[in-house]
């Protein structure tokens, strides 16, 4: 009797073991997914609730932010800013790798720029000023513009025509009214998003022709708003990534 | 034991197994529904979501807006603002939110034109947000530039006189001959004032400035706006000091004296890229806005008074 029952019981026992194994694996998987999901939510909440400058003091939060922010950067920002944050001077995209921050590199400022953009049309966008086409508008003459360029070459410590630079200085502070936006020391004003004109890094390039073109035609750089495209935590993480990436690169270089 | 075997033996029907799976399914469904119910946007929450600094009648005040507001109000980095300053900013923002909600409660947009305009602008912005976020490629920008090349130049400036031999002072054929003679005299270098007096030319009155004939700089777009196509086209090729051919029009025979002409300077693609970008975006926004209006109309119940019903 026992002998004849054995073959039928074996497959049933094996099936039961398999089912139990599947059930166990499913439960473990569900627990893993659940804890990963909870961890992600907790990380997101911590990143959002912690002050941005406090995040910069906590390596574990920086790591979490970078792991969220870097893929977002590559997906949404690298098209303009370059895969290594190097920007594109031909299009006036700032070199973030060299810390060129028109509106300041405090993470709160960076986050605001990402959220609402620059001259993006969003009501909260950064949109205080534009580089006017001073020559085309007739505010200064082409000769004035060339003189102003010589003055800027002087400020940057580059070879320049001394007499023209002196005339250019007068243009900078009087007729051209350049100091009003670019500051008395020509180091730019982050409140307006006006770039430093003293080099060595420029938004559009520091050569004479590019500078002249800026004064001749004006500039109108833009950055789109991401408030409706990315989640709050993605934007916070992106801001932290952008602020820390150049520092990390500098540390790696040294 | 036999029941347990039956429970796990998928080839056999098991009431216990069916009930257990049914209960498990119901429990999972309830959990998902509960999660959705208590976390969905707009649902009542006791806690403040991480991206918000406060909830006012369940509406979020975003941390990012709060930080920006504090920085702007006290002109220092957010990290340097004090707790008192932050409290003040938060209370101001809460007050503003309450006022805004009150405005909606009393249906302010239905009768205040400023609020209506702001709402319209806001909705337009909302629907065009995607367009604003999309980056046109260089190829798209170049294609747009090539298709609209005429737009990308500096504005031309003219100093001109539009003179006319009036038909009431002479037979049309005589008026034309007079105009031709006047043109010849001007081309020979006779002074404008002399020619005007000698041939009885009068100003057309098209270019006036505060009641006087405008002899100063006039933008090309203004010339276009103030004249007909034939006159405008006649001005375009004229260089400094050149005179047009006679133009026969209903009020007489015209001749254009171009005193000074600064021609528009065409911008190449690199120079015009930012304007091209803006124009391309604006055009895309207009299309999206038009599509939005079409969609809203398609689902709206609009009844127009009989006299204007189409």
Rounded Cα distance between B149 and B128, Å, is: 25
Q: Which of A64-68, B27-31, B34-38 has the lowest mean pLDDT?
A: B34-38
* pLDDT tens digits along A165-201: 999 999 999 999 999 899 999 999 988 899 999 988 8
Helix axes A2-49, A232-253, angle to 10 degrees: 80
Task: Provide the pLDDT for residue B281.
Answer: 81
Rounded Cα distance between A141 and B270, Å, is: 22
Q: Which residues pair with B114 in a beta bridge?
A: none
Task: Provide the pLDDT for residue A1.
Answer: 45
With beta carbons less than 8 A apart as the criterion, state whether A141 and A135 touch. yes
Rounded Cα distance between B28 and B32, Å, is: 6
- Quick one: average pLDDT of B163-179? 82
Query: Are the Cβ atoms of A106 and B129 closer than 8 angstroms?
Result: no
Q: Report the sign of the C-alpha dihedral through residues B53, B56, B60, B61, in that order.
A: negative
Chain A residue at shortest CA distance from B138: A91
Rounded Cα distance between A22 and B10, Å, is: 14
Average pLDDT, chain B: 87
* C-alpha pair distances (Å), A92 with each of A83, A172, A190, A210, A245: 16, 22, 16, 11, 20
Cβ neighbours, 10 Å, residue B54: 16
Stronger pLDDT, A97 or B129, i.e. the higher one = A97
Helix axes B269-299, B138-147, angle to 10 degrees: 90
Residue B136 has pLDDT above 60, yes or no: yes
* C-alpha pair distances (Å), B164 with each of A59, B158, B184, B254: 81, 18, 15, 4
Helix axes A59-72, A232-253, angle to 10 degrees: 110
Query: Are the Cβ atoms of A235 and B277 closer than 8 angstroms?
Result: no
Q: Which residues pair with B157 in a beta bridge?
A: B219, B262
Rounded Cα distance between A79 and A108, Å, is: 23
Cβ neighbours, 10 Å, residue A242: 23
Helix residue ranges, H only, A50-158: 52-55, 59-72, 78-81, 107-116, 142-155
Closest residue to A108, CB basis, from B78, B125, B278: B78
Chain A residues within 8 A of B63 when measuring between CB atoms: 48-49, 232
Q: Which residues of B208-245 are buried (b: 16+ CB within 10 A; e: fewer)?
A: eeeeeebeeebebeebbebbeeebeebbeebeeeebbe
Average pLDDT, chain A: 88
Task: Provide the pLDDT for residue A98.
Answer: 82
pLDDT band at A58 (very low <50, low <70, confident <90, very high): very high
Inter-chain CB pairs, A–B, below 8 Å: 100
Helix axes A142-155, A208-217, angle to 10 degrees: 130
Q: Which residues pair with B61 in a beta bridge?
A: B54
Residue B107 has pLDDT above 50, yes or no: yes
Query: Are the Cβ atoms of B133 and A224 closer than 8 angstroms?
Result: yes
Task: Provide the pLDDT for residue B133.
Answer: 61
| Unique residue bearing structure tokens 């777009």 | B221
Q: Which residues does A177 contact at the CB level (< 8 Å), separation at least 6? A: A139
Residue B51 has pLDDT above 50, yes or no: yes
Cβ neighbourhood burial of B310 (10 Å; 0-12, 13-18, 19+): exposed
Task: Provide the pLDDT for residue B267.
Answer: 84
Q: Which residues does B278 contact at the CB level (< 8 Å), separation at least 6? A: A220, A222
Residue B288 Cα, gap to closest chain A Cα (Å): 14
3-class DSSP assignment, residue B162: strand
pTM for this model (two decimals): 0.63
Pairing of the two strands B157-165 and B59-62: unpaired
Give this complex's ipTM.
0.77
Chain A residues within 8 A of B129 when measuring between CB atoms: 122, 225, 227-229
Task: Provide the pLDDT for residue A169.
Answer: 95
Residue B43 has pLDDT above 70, yes or no: no
Task: Provide the pLDDT for residue A124.
Answer: 86
Rounded Cα distance between B201 and B194, Å, is: 10
| Prior bond of A127 cis (ω within 30°) | no
For chain B, what's the residue count? 310
| Unique residue bearing structure tokens 């939005």 | B292
Chain B residue at shortest CA distance from A93: B274
Task: Provide the pLDDT for residue B181.
Answer: 93
* pLDDT tens digits along A133-153: 788 777 888 899 999 999 999
Stronger pLDDT, B10 or B116, i.e. the higher one = B116
Closest residue to B277, CB basis, from A19, A111, A222: A222
Q: Which residues does B158 contact at the CB level (< 8 Å), separation at least 6? A: B217, B218, B219, B220, B223, B235, B258, B260, B261, B262
């Amino acid at each position: 009797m026992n002998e004849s029952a054995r073959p039928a019981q074996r497959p049933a026992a094996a099936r039961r073991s398999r089912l139990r194994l599947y059930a166990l694996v499913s439960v473990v998987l569900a627990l893993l997914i659940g804890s990963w999901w909870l961890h992600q939510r907790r990380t997101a909440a911590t990143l959002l609730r912690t002050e941005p400058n406090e995040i910069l003091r906590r390596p574990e939060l920086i790591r979490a932010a970078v792991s969220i922010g870097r893929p977002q950067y590559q997906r949404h920002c690298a098209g303009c800013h370059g895969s290594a944050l190097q920007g594109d001077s031909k299009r006036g995209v700032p070199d973030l790798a060299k810390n060129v921050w028109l509106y300041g590199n405090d993470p709160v400022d960076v986050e605001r720029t990402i959220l609402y953009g620059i001259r993006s049309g969003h009501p909260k966008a950064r949109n205080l000023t534009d580089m006017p086409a001073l020559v085309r508008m007739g505010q200064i003459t082409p000769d004035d513009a060339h003189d102003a360029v010589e003055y800027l070459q002087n400020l940057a410590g580059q070879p320049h025509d001394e007499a023209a630079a002196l005339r250019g200085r007068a243009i900078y502070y009087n007729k051209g009214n350049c100091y009003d936006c670019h500051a008395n020391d020509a180091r730019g004003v982050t409140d307006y998003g006006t770039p430093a004109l003293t080099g060595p890094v420029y938004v559009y390039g520091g050569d004479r022709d590019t500078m002249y073109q800026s004064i001749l035609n004006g500039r109108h750089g833009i950055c789109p708003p991401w408030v409706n495209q990315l989640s709050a935590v993605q934007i916070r993480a992106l801001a932290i990534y952008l602020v820390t990436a150049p520092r990390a690169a500098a540390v790696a270089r040294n | 034991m036999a029941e347990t075997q039956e429970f796990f033996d998928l080839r056999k029907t098991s009431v216990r197994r069916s009930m257990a799976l049914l209960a498990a399914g119901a429990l999972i469904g309830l959990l998902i529904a509960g999660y959705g119910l208590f976390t969905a946007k707009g649902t009542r929450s006791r806690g403040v979501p991480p991206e918000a600094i406060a909830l006012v009648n369940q509406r979020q005040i975003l941390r990012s807006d709060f930080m920006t507001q504090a920085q702007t109000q006290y002109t220092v980095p957010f990290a340097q603002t004090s707790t008192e300053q932050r409290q003040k900013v938060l209370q101001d923002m809460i007050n503003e939110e309450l006022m805004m909600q009150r405005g909606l409660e009393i249906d302010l947009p239905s009768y205040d034109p400023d609020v209506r305009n702001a709402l319209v602008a806001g909705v337009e912005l909302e629907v065009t947000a995607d367009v604003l976020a999309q980056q046109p490629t260089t190829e798209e920008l170049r294609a747009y530039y090539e298709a609209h090349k005429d737009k990308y130049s500096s504005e031309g400036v003219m100093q001109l006189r539009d003179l006319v031999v009036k038909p009431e002072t002479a037979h049309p054929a005589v008026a034309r001959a007079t105009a031709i003679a006047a043109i010849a005299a001007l081309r020979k270098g006779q002074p404008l004032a002399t020619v005007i007096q000698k041939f009885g030319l009068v100003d057309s009155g098209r270019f006036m400035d505060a009641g006087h004939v405008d002899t100063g700089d006039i933008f090309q777009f203004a010339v276009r706006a103030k004249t007909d196509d034939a006159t405008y086209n006649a001005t375009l090729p004229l260089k400094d000091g050149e005179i047009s051919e006679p133009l026969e029009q209903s009020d007489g025979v015209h001749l254009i004296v171009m005193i000074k002409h600064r021609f528009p300077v065409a911008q190449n693609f690199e120079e015009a890229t930012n304007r091209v970008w803006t124009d391309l975006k604006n055009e895309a926004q207009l299309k999206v806005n038009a599509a939005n209006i079409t969609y809203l109309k398609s689902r709206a119940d609009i009844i127009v008074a009989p006299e204007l019903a189409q």
